[in-house]
Amino acid sequence: MKATFPHMGRMDIFIKGIVKALGMEAVVPPTSSKKALNLGVKYAPEFVCLPFKLMLGNLIEAFERGADTVIMVSDRGPCRLGLYGLPMQIILKNLGYEANWLILNTPHALHGLFQLGIEKEVVKYRDKLTFVDGLLAFHFGWKKMLAIEEIERLSLKIRPYEINKGDTTKGLYQGMEAIESADNLYDLKKAKDAVIKDLRSIPQDRNRRPLKIAIAGEIFVVLDSFANLDIEKKLGELGCEVDRTIWFSTHILHHVGLDKFMRRSKGKAVRAARPYLKHPVGAECNATVGYAILYAEEGYDGFIHLMPFTCMPEFVAGGVLTRVSKDYNIPIFTVELEEHSSQTHLMTRLEAFVDLLKRKRQKRQGLEGSRGD
């Protein structure tokens, strides 16, 4: 059995760990690219949301490489994710790819894992494995994931200060590779420490005062740099310090209820949104609105809202955010993402947004200055 799964950001690092832990062979689809996207667009329903198209593209590429089992997460609505599986099965079958589908009927990580663990197909392949082996490999996958996220976070902090444009991104990519190739906890720690040291030693101009921008929205496009056209990198190179509201690890922790004590947990965001949204809408909608409020209160300069074209929950969020933007005096920029989204077009609009934030900050500082006289 060769198991595959669609990409979402760097989730592959974690899932690969689990799949191996269960004694299966993993076929990781090639990193999302124009090719995967085009395949997805060609075979997916025309106006389905971007995540579907990319995931379908990933799966087709994985089948071309011999995968025969698909692992997919699902839920019970109200959005589309829970029903991705059925049409995907139909489309792939019509393309001649018969596969075995392991659909995890819950986004709850531990339940999912348990369900996967008792699947007949998996059990067959697992006889040589002990429970402890599984647990260790799971732990290792998780640690790797955290290491990747740690260096990503660091890169967001360093990029706005870098003197030579592109240094941070280069360092980050090299660092990701180094971490990915680590085979045990010891190598992993060594690799991570080395990457952190390298990133810190990038030449920086610490006199800059970068604008602070938070990014939120639909989870797939927030996590996936291909889907969001590398928006974090673009903003960083425009001199902004970016904070991402959702990470793969925080998403999992939220689902097992362990994020409660974090400074900005999803639960806190959802509560913050209550005056504006009286009912859970679905997916990240309520959290998106709440994050805008939390970050505005922390004094962030701007907020970027990412939504796939035709995304239902984020359409609701976008509408409500127009009000939040006024009430909390924070500029909010909603970016709709689809297969035709162009890098240059996005760049122009980001430049305009950053200019607006700069002017706003100058005006505010001007006011504070005159008050001080």
Minimum gap (Å) between residue 333 Cβ and ligand SF4: 18
Residue 8 contacts which entry, ligand SF4, other proteins, none (Cβ below 5-8 A, type-dependent): none
**Residue 158 near residue 197, CB atoms below 8 Å:** no
Q: Of 33 and 89, which has the nearer Cβ to other proteins?
A: 89
Secondary structure of 59-128 as H, E, C letters: HHHHHHCCCCEEEEECCCCCCCHHHCHHHHHHHHHHCCCCCEEEEECCCCHHHHHHHHHHCHHHHHCCCC
List Cα–Cα distances, 102 to 85, 115, 119, 326, in angstroms.
10, 9, 8, 46
Residue 218 contacts which entry, ligand SF4, other proteins, none (Cβ below 5-8 A, type-dependent): ligand SF4
Minimum gap (Å) between residue 359 Cβ and other proteins: 22
Beta bridge partners of 334: 305
Minimum gap (Å) between residue 87 Cβ and ligand SF4: 12
Residue 166 contacts which entry, other proteins, ligand SF4, none (Cβ below 5-8 A, type-dependent): none
Q: At what angle do helices 131-158 and 248-255 cross, to 10 degrees?
A: 130
Residue 81 contacts which entry, other proteins, ligand SF4, none (Cβ below 5-8 A, type-dependent): ligand SF4
Q: Of 85 and 210, which has the nearer Cβ to other proteins?
A: 85
Residues 6+ apart with CB under 8 A from 214: 242, 243, 244, 245, 291, 292, 295, 300, 302, 303, 304
- Own/partner long-range contacts of 119-127 (Cβ < 8 Å, ≥24 apart): 121/1, 121/69, 122/22, 122/23, 122/24, 124/1, 125/1, 125/22, 125/23, 125/24, 126/22, 126/23, 127/23
Q: Of 147 and 231, which has the nearer Cβ to ligand SF4?
A: 231
Q: Of 51 and 160, which has the nearer Cβ to other proteins?
A: 51
Residues that bind other proteins (CB under 8 A): 45-49, 52, 74, 76-80, 82-87, 89-91, 94, 103, 276-283, 285, 307, 309-316, 318-324, 334, 336
Distance of alpha carbon 163 from alpha carbon 305, whole angstroms: 28
Q: Of 86 and 194, which has the nearer Cβ to ligand SF4?
A: 86
Minimum gap (Å) between residue 190 Cβ and other proteins: 45
Phi, psi values for residue 74, rounded to 5°: -140, 170
Residue 87 contacts which entry, ligand SF4, other proteins, none (Cβ below 5-8 A, type-dependent): other proteins
Residues that bind ligand SF4 (CB under 6 A): 49, 51, 79-81, 218, 283, 308, 311-314
Q: Of 75 and 241, which has the nearer Cβ to ligand SF4?
A: 75
Minimum gap (Å) between residue 124 Cβ and ligand SF4: 32
Minimum gap (Å) between residue 284 Cβ and ligand SF4: 7
Minimum gap (Å) between residue 79 Cβ and other proteins: 6
Q: Which amino acid is at 211?
A: L
Q: Of 142 and 309, which has the nearer Cβ to other proteins?
A: 309
